[in-house]
Amino acid sequence: MILAADAGNTRIKWGLHDGGVWLEKGWSNTADSARLSDAWSGISAPGQIVVSNVAGPAVRNQIELACKRWPVEIQWIKATDCQCGVRNGYENFSQLGSDRWAALIAARSMLHEACIVANVGTAMTVDALSSDGVFMGGIIVPGLMAMRSALAESTAAIEVSGGSFKAFPGNTADGVYTGALSAMAGAVERMAEELHRAQGRLPLRVLSGGDAESLLPLLSGNAMMVDNLVLEGLIRIVLA
């Protein structure tokens, strides 16, 4: 039994995997990481624990405390130069976030073709993966909530609460929401264009994360959404 956890800025997503399928999945707010022990109190004892943590040392400590009940060493994932068929093209491969690395590994194992991997969370990362498994680089932009919050903090007269996507927004709230989501879609499409030029073929867009469902309809090219892509990558790393 494998316990996999993806600790991000907003949520800690986790799942219990038997080596073939997911038996259980759940999540906790990162701000409530001290309650992880309670959240995991009823799950079957894992024989392996694998974690991606980009939420900082305090959250790492809480994960360690929650796992103390099991005599299992935690495998903390870090980006390497090459793993599970993915080669890391970052200038300093160790600077690549463990969540991005795991997502790239998951996408490679699923597709085996050039693709754009976008994790749409508090921040949105948009990474280019070549047809032969090379991570070519990626961008980081604010996510939907972060963009809207930035407007609220920087302006006095713009209403940023509520809102929904409209082709032609007729009020400020819709204008802010539509503008933020459109900017995110533009970032994904821009990276897809760059990868198209480099690879000579239109890449698939692979989305994951809390706002992936909202972003998906705005993309002009072939796109798909994968639930908990980081967790999928963590399992592939353990089983490799």
Helices (H), 69-171: 98-111, 144-154
Distance between CA 18 and CA 12 in Å, rounded? 20
Q: Is 230 helix (H, G, I), strand (E, B) or coil?
A: helix
Q: For residue 138, count CB atoms less than 10 angstroms from its CB and return exposed for 0-12, middle for 13-18, buried for 19 or more.
A: buried
Query: Would you call 18 a catalytic residue per the annotation?
Result: no
**What is the three-class DSSP state of 141?**
strand
Q: Which of 6, 99, 127, 211 is catalytic?
A: 99
State how far the Cα of 6 lies from the Cα of 12, in Å rounded to an integer: 6
The C-alpha atoms of residue 215 and residue 205 are separated, in whole angstroms, by 11
For residue 232, the one-letter residue type is: E
Contacts of 1 (CB under 8 A, 6+ apart): 16, 17, 18, 23, 44, 45, 46, 47, 48
DSSP 3-state percent helix, strand, coil across the chain (nearest 5): 40, 25, 35
Q: Which residues are catalytic?
A: 99
